[in-house]
Amino acid sequence: MAKHIFMIDKRVANAIEATHDIPNGAKLMIGGFGLCGIPENCIAAILQKGITGLTCISNNAGVDDFGIGLLLKTKQVKKMISSYVGENAEFERQLLSGELEVELIPQGTLAERVRAGGAGIPAFFTPAGVGTEVADGKETRVFDGKTYLMERWLRADFSIVKAWKGDTSGNLVYKGTARNFNPMMATAGTITIAEVEELVEVGQLDPNHIHTPGIFVHRIFQGSNYEKRIEQRTISNSVIR
């Protein structure tokens, strides 16, 4: 007798529905690197809802008029936990004025703290940051004659990620460099929301090509109107003959 496997359908209609229960004061992980692979539709929904007091864990803070920069502009973010924030003048202004709490983390440490959160590892030791301000108040230990710094995992109330393709059960495939922080962040949220450019039925994705298994994803929807903006455009003056 053939066995039938029933997969949970995790589809929601749009970003508004996907983010309906994000409260004021929530801790969010937001995927992307620069403006590459960011969940544009969900950020727009959070902006529209006016959710405030957010702690955002992201590699970057977007730019002044795009990405997380939109939420900074409207003062919806109270704290940023990031690695690189150099493209956002409003972020700099809020940081220097004391309006915004900021925790800057070495990029590799940020990635590992998120990965540890998804793997259920509460702490680990790394040489990055030893002897700097990053180490203030943190435990250090010596292993094999070298000093290491203890770092804690990062987890979030909601992880919001962007993928290229996904199926109705939440399995995700990323494309190129848009993969970046998205797969690890997808594992580290109590609730993970995924927006995708193309949503297909279960069975239409090659299992060998899936980057994030659907077990990590709670809600998924097909996004629209992606700008895919270029953060810095460099154009050569030379003419190719």
Distance CA 173, CA 115 (A): 18
Q: Which is the CATH superfamily of the domain at 23-104+155-222?
A: Glutaconate Coenzyme A-transferase (3.40.1080.10)
User: Which pLDDT score, from 0 to 100, does residue 232 have?
Assistant: 72
Q: Is the C-alpha dihedral spanning 232, 166, 183, 158 positive or negative?
A: positive
- Specify the 3-state DSSP secondary structure of 174: coil
User: Which pLDDT score, from 0 to 100, does residue 238 have?
Assistant: 67
Q: Is the C-alpha dihedral spanning 11, 118, 55, 157 positive or negative?
A: positive
Distance CA 34, CA 58 (A): 9
User: Which pLDDT score, from 0 to 100, does residue 239 have?
Assistant: 59
CB 26 within 8 A of CB 46: no
User: Which pLDDT score, from 0 to 100, does residue 88 have?
Assistant: 86
User: Which pLDDT score, from 0 to 100, does residue 34 have?
Assistant: 86
User: Which pLDDT score, from 0 to 100, does residue 1 have?
Assistant: 52
Distance CA 43, CA 105 (A): 23
Distance CA 135, CA 132 (A): 6
Distance CA 51, CA 200 (A): 31
User: Which pLDDT score, from 0 to 100, does residue 241 have?
Assistant: 54
Sequential pLDDT tens for the chain (241 residues): 555 556 799 999 999 999 999 999 999 999 999 899 999 999 999 999 999 999 999 998 889 889 999 999 999 999 999 998 777 889 889 989 999 999 999 999 999 999 999 999 999 999 999 999 999 999 999 999 999 999 999 999 999 999 999 999 999 999 999 999 999 999 999 999 999 999 999 999 999 999 999 999 999 999 999 987 777 777 777 655 5
User: Which pLDDT score, from 0 to 100, does residue 101 have?
Assistant: 96
Ordered by start, the domain boundaries in the chain are: 23-104+155-222
User: Which pLDDT score, from 0 to 100, does residue 45 have?
Assistant: 98
205 secondary structure, DSSP code: S
Query: pTM for the whole thing?
Result: 0.91
DSSP string for residues in 31-94 = --BTTBT--HHHHHHHHHHT--SEEEE-S---BTTBTHHHHHHTT-EEEEEES--TT-HHHHHH
Residue 79 phi/psi, 5-degree rounding, is: -150, 140
Instruction: Give percent helix, percent strand, percent coil of the chain, each to the nearest 5.
Output: 25, 30, 45
User: Which pLDDT score, from 0 to 100, does residue 229 have?
Assistant: 78
CB 126 within 8 A of CB 112: yes
User: Which pLDDT score, from 0 to 100, does residue 160 have?
Assistant: 98
Element (H, E) at 184: helix 182-186
Contacts of 59 (CB under 8 A, 6+ apart): 32, 33, 34, 82, 83, 84, 107, 110, 180, 181
Q: Per the structure block, which two tokens stand in for 28?
A: 């969010």
